[in-house]
Structure 1
């Protein structure tokens, strides 16, 4: 009985943390979109937005495959745009791009 109750408490905490993570990733996305509205060529903002979108896709993949797929596609587009403007973050962006592409292939 105590073990089942403990598992329920842990599950509740995990769900709360995941919901907070999703909210934070959405807010991060808004901030980087705002930065890109000021300077559409900001490679750091493009990279970080792509990263936030990719992480968000991973987070929601179990809940909504279509939304995860859309987030992965958008992340790939941001990484592509970033690499076309600068090589500053290219190695990590290509790695993240590959992960997003791989993830979207299975959603």
Structure 2
């Protein structure tokens, strides 16, 4: 049973993000997901956002050092509020992701 998944610093591409979105969406056991340092694109962020909408088991996710937009980060934050994710930690990490996205423009 997959409970913790650390994919940090793997340079995940769009296809990988699609697979990850499917895993996050369908997992009944995944609790921790580390995607930091992947420089995830905006498209990958949207795929992840869509996968998170159905997930109710994830309690911790790290999105630092990715290139998702402010809008996608805000949408992920809203989903996290309805799920069990640590909202305060997620908002801090999403804020950091937003700052990085603004810096890279």
Question: What is the TM-score with the length of structure 2 in the denominator?
Answer: 0.43
Instruction: Decide which structure has greater helix share.
Output: 1
Instruction: Decide which structure has greater strand share.
Output: 2
Higher Cα Rg, which structure: 1
